[in-house]
Amino acid sequence: MKFPDRLPIPDEVLRIAKKLEDSGYETWCVGGAIRDALLGLENPSFDPLKSEFDLTTAAPPDVVRQLFKRTVPVGIEHGTVGVLDKDNRLHEVTTFRKDIRTDGRHAVVEFGVSLMDDLARRDFTINAIAYHPVQHAWRDPFKGADDLEHKLIRSVGDPNWRFQEDYLRILRALRFSARFEFKIHARTLEAAKANVQGLAQLSAERVRDEWFKGIATAARVSKLVALWMDIGAARIWLPELREQGAGSRELKALDKLPRDPVLLTAFLARDPASLLTRLRCSTKDIERARVIGQWRDKYPDPKHVPAVRRWLAETREYADDLLTLLPTSPAPGSPLPKIVAAIRAAKDPLMLKDLVVTGDDLLAAGVRPGPEVGETLERLLGEVLEDPRRNTKEYLLSRV
């Protein structure tokens, strides 16, 4: 692959680089934005307030903080300082470094090294390319451009050592392979499988972020799932994933669904709530996955409108998720969405709050305080779900 004469670097990134260079500190652009620019792709932004372009520099962290008025110590122990621009967008500036000790999760780094040392500690050759934004020079000591051209994910140096430095790199290899539809180099793939047990040492949050990013960026989510299965990563962190044959209906449908990590995980897993609990997702996401998993294969008969109302009452705000998955069900051409739309357009009562009577009304009508109030309201809601015309005070109190 031939390097272009220059890359279009955002003005704020160029301003930071020039200030560091003018102060006597060598500074380069590195990372995913450089890789994606060479591929002619847009780098996906997982954080709209963070720049896609990372800078690496000879300047020590304390010097970076002195040179710029507004900084954030985002990873100061690893040499990373966030520089804020006028729009409060964060630009990460990291001092040249190399790892001197690691436990597979965290590394102790040494500063004051060269760009070559810094690039040598990176995970894959395609991420170890540097571009000088001022001089428009390139550095590619590990032939990452060749691997981009040949669509290869290859570790920098010894793949076993690379993965043992940080086991998360195994999952990053799977994400990049699925995103770019690149093949993982044979030695790198072999090392990933040999070191897969090290994934158990990682924090759930880091694994969750990789799984979610993978779903968001994969060219085909089915390919990502197959990679996690093949490597053995799913066995360690996602054991609830259902085994899928290469031509299964679920895998064919998977690539047509929205890139919603919680929705797709719930679609794929036998017990999605347990899986998302292990990944330390939010309570809201876990509950959403639980309801989707519970009702995923239990759609109401659209010919029986009261049954559809009861289904909407049970599934609550997650009904739309289930309607999104409807085409993957055994009855993909179901008129259920039209029936749901008609019920919603008619504003049929579906929840306790939609009843025209309240607990106070029941107490006034003679219902004893305590659990009986709630139980009575539930029975009244059942009658209204059967026929919304029953939702009048006169009728409901007569039933009490």
Spatial neighbors of 358 by CB under 8 A, at least 6 apart, are none
Report the mean per-residue pLDDT for the chain: 92
Per-residue pLDDT of 121-142, as tens digits, reads 999 999 999 999 999 999 999 9
Residue pair 333/360 in contact (Cβ under 8 Å)? The answer is no
Residue 206, pLDDT above cutoff 80: yes
Position 101 scores a pLDDT of 60
Per-residue pLDDT of 221-247, as tens digits, reads 999 999 999 999 999 999 999 876 555
Q: How confident is the model at residue 107 (pLDDT cuts 50, 70, 90)?
A: low
Residue pair 153/126 in contact (Cβ under 8 Å)? The answer is yes
Position 104 scores a pLDDT of 54
Residue 77, pLDDT above cutoff 90: no
The number of domains in the chain is: 2
Structural domain includes residue 346: no
pTM (2 d.p.): 0.88
> Both tokens of residue 272?
């999605």
Structural domain includes residue 298: no
Q: Which domain holds residue 12?
A: 1-150
Position 329 scores a pLDDT of 79
Position 98 scores a pLDDT of 75
pLDDT: which is higher, 297 or 175? 175
> Which residue among 99, 128, 150 closes a domain?
150
> Both tokens of residue 160?
């076993």
Q: How confident is the model at residue 155 (pLDDT cuts 50, 70, 90)?
A: very high
Structural domain includes residue 226: no
Structural domain includes residue 334: no
Per-residue pLDDT of 51-66, as tens digits, reads 789 999 999 999 999 9
Position 108 scores a pLDDT of 60
- How far is Cα 21 from Cα 26, in angstroms, rounded to an integer? 6
> Which residue among 100, 124, 150 closes a domain?
150
Residue pair 204/278 in contact (Cβ under 8 Å)? The answer is yes
Q: How many residues does the chain have?
A: 400
Structural domain includes residue 86: yes
Structural domain includes residue 241: no
**CATH number of the domain encompassing residue 129:** 3.30.460.10
Position 49 scores a pLDDT of 72
> Both tokens of residue 318?
């997650």
Task: Give the mean model confidence (pLDDT) for residues 185-201.
Answer: 97
> Which residue among 124, 150, 176 closes a domain?
150
How many of the other CB atoms lie within 10 Å of CB of 343? Answer: 16
Position 47 scores a pLDDT of 67
